[in-house]
Each structure stands twice: as C-alpha cells, then as structure tokens.
Amino acid sequence: MTPPTPPLRTARLAFTPYRPEDEDHFVALLRDEEVCRWMGQDRVPEAEIRTLFRAILTDVYPQRIFDVWGLWHEGAYIGHAEVKKTGNVDGHELITALAPAYWGRGLGLEATRGLMEYAAGTLGLKEVYGMVGAGNAASLALCRRLGARHVRDVVGDDGTVTKMVLLSLADTSRPDVSVGDLESSRDLGDLGHLGDSGDEPSEAAAPRREGQVTADG
C-alpha cells in the first residue's frame, strides 16, 4: 500500500515515507545518546523503538493518522520529520530530528521550512507549533529567525522546561536564513519531539517523558 504521506524535496533534502528497509536507520537515530539528550528523553530498549517503527507502517500510514518521513541527504538517512496534530493545543506541530553528524549545516532549518511549506500549501494550515528545549540555544535561535512567537513554557515532571512556540504560515516565501548563519552552531534542528502523548504505538512515533513534548535544535 502506498503511504498517504507524499514524498517531498527541498534543495538538499528528500523527505521519503518510511519503508520496511529503513527500520535500522530509525532505530539508530532514536538510540543515539546525543539525540535523546537534546530531545529530553532517556534511551529506551531497542525492541520498543522497533515496535514504534513498525506501527508507522501498520497503523500511522494506513489509518492516515499523521504525515511522517525519513530525511535523506545525498543518499544517506539523516533524520526524521513529522507534521501532526498536537495534544498540547488545538493545532498542528512540526517535528524534526537530525543525526549528530549532520548538525551545524543548516539542514534543520531547511527541513523546518520544507515542513512549513507543506503545512501551508498542502494541508492549508495558517500556523503551526513547535516545542523547543529551553536549553537548546541553536533551535531557539532558529525559531527567532523564522519569526516564531513564544506561547508558554511547559514544565515536565522532572523540572525540565520546554518552550512552546508558534510559527505563522502567512508568508512561507520570506527569505531563508543563510546556511552560514548556522554553520558555527551545533544545531540539532528540531522543532518538535518525536511522539505525542499517549501509550498506543499508533499515536506516537517515539517514546517521550511524561509531561513533555519537546523539540530541540
């Protein structure tokens, strides 16, 4: 069955619906200690991540729960992206996560803008949300450059603070931030935590801490 999530392209990135053969890439991303740290989550057992990946293929795509892609650059898997309804507010959330080897190249910004254009042009949304770790300076800087507005702070059970931001999609044609502006930063480039609240695999693409929906850049 062809996933309802369409493939997308930006200047350097291919957004590709996941295939069964992508499972090991997905697992490696979510088992990476640096990725987990910036996403505010603990590393979870590999078997659990594999279950979550298979739920994308068996539940998320067939039931059209939300749009989810693997991110590819020059033929290499480099990360993950989603556009989905968020349980935190009445709206949609943008989600990206990049492997550490690809931080600091402006790819997080490019992925986010690709999602913004899809959300506006295909889904007809006027605005989208992101959740960014309070200590994630690179992603917070990216949000400011994209014109994001801080909505409120979300405090997790462990005291971790995540900033909810709102991005207007009224003008997705505004100039990009120069890649050079981000070259010196170790930007993870995330604008959302992989996963929503809830325990069912069909409702989440990755595990999360209770009380948190984060995006780290």
CB of 40 closer than 8 Å to CB of 193:
yes
* Burial tier of 191 (Cβ tally within 10 Å: 0-12, 13-18, 19+): buried
* CA diameter of the chain: 43
Instruction: Name the pTM for this structure.
Output: 0.77
Q: Which of 153, 143, 39, 149 is nearest to 88 (CA)?
A: 153
What's the rounded Cα separation, in Å, for the pair 139 and 143? 6
SS3 for 216? Answer: coil
Mean pLDDT confidence for 71-91: 93
Residue 161, φ and ψ in degrees, nearest 5: -100, 130
CA angle 209, 155, 110 (to 5 degrees): 75
* Tokens, residue 111: 């992925």
- Per-residue pLDDT for 176 more than 70? no
Count CB atoms within 10 A of the CB of residue 123: 12
Where is mean pLDDT largest: 26-35, 136-145, 154-163? 26-35
Considering only 130-134, 146-150, 213-217, which range has the smallest mean pLDDT? 213-217
Is the pLDDT at 174 greater than 50, yes or no? no
Residues 6+ apart with CB under 8 A from 135: none
Residue 174: beta bridge partners? none
pLDDT score of 172: 57
Distance CA 92, CA 105 (A): 26
Residue 177 has pLDDT above 60, yes or no: no
The pLDDT score that the predictor gives to residue 145 is: 85
| pLDDT of res. 74 | 97
